[in-house]
Amino acid sequence: MKLKNICQFSDSDRQTRIPSGCGIIGIFNRDRKRISGSDVALALCTMRERGNGLGSGYAAYGIYPELAESWCLHLLFGSDNGKNQTEQYLKTRFSLHQAEPIPTRTVRSLKHPPILWRYFVTPKEAIWQNELPGQDEKDYVASAFMWINQNIPDAFVMSSGKNMGIFKGVGQPDDIADFYRLEEYSGYLWTGHNRFPTNSVGWWGGAHPFGLLDWSVVHNGEISSYGVNRRYLENFGYFCTLFTDTEVIAYLFDLLVRKQRLPLEIVGKIIAAPFWSKIELLPASEQETARLLRVAYGSALMNGPFGVIVACSKFMLGITDRIKLRPLVAAEKGKTLYLASEQSAIFAVEGNPDRVWTPRAGEVTGGFLEEENG
């Protein structure tokens, strides 16, 4: 596949590669009580020094209740031609209920932002049943996501879930929040990211969060197994087109959790699997399972330093690499769960949590909506 030109999405520093910092935040109310976008922006801006202005972004859940049954596609375009081709494609495969620019305001520090639109759609069932017989609606939407990103020049899907959206770009976290008018949104779950790129360029589509369907992923660190993970995912119809290693995490969770229906605890043991030497020290009752997972899912193991927050419409979780080379702290206040790179980010919006703890290396930490418990 020929890579698409990303120059029009990038600023003058797009070729800069520098050591990693990155700040991540997640705020989740398990009773669906709504949280202002201003709060997550405040928490993320507390970790401003962890980024360098080459990318920031937010994912929000529960922000489109009036159109909650429609799939909401957030797209960025580098040209009118890319936008026109995408809209023609969408009209042939979906019923289009609403299309509009994503509301923004002028921020002096953000240079040459792309064209940003959102579309509320539902699949045309006749096409879906003909092209993907036996597969569900989510498979149909995911295939459209992949097709646009692969085949339409100057068009990239930022998010494609229901009642949620991703807002991201090249800039500091306060500037991106201001640009997208984040204070006008409220949702029950938020994730955020302040980027300090390592091995990939800083451009609008390469900022975090990364999404597919209702998944969103923010990541601090580096996935050194990106090549192996990417090739593994291609066997299942997932294709990486956004030039950033974090993209594989979103697709791995969709494959392992949604498609293969693996428990989250098992997924954690796959992507942050213990070293073979550590497996030999496990209780005998656990060794066989650990070995089977390493053999069957070796290509899904994520190597390198990472701290990750993964969210969907039903839960939020955090996980670090198997020796915890990147930080992650958790806290709770009532029904609200917080995950962050730094405790200071949590205390910026919740100064008196009921509990604060540090998850162990490779341990899945998170929570579900109350109605999803059990």
Catalytic positions: 22
Could you give the angle at the alpha carbon of 34 between the alpha carbons of 33 and 37, nearest 5°?
150
Could you give the CA distance from residue 48 to residue 39 in angstroms, rounded to a whole number? 15
Which of 101, 96, 137 is CA-nearest to residue 118?
A: 101
Could you give the CA distance from residue 257 to residue 266 in angstroms, rounded to a whole number? 10
- Whose tokens are 């839960």? That residue is 315
Judge contact between 242 and 206, C-beta under 8 A: yes
- The single-letter code of the amino acid at 289 is T
| Burial class of residue 169 (count of CB atoms within 10 Å of its CB; 0-12, 13-18, 19+) | buried
Query: What DSSP letter does each residue of 37-91 carry, written as one string?
Result: HHHHHHHHHTTGGG--SS-EEEEEES--GGGTTSEEEEEEESSHHHHHHHHHHHH
- Which residues are 59's β-sheet partners? 166, 191
Judge contact between 55 and 170, C-beta under 8 A: yes
Does a cis peptide bond (omega within 30 degrees of 0) precede residue 153? no
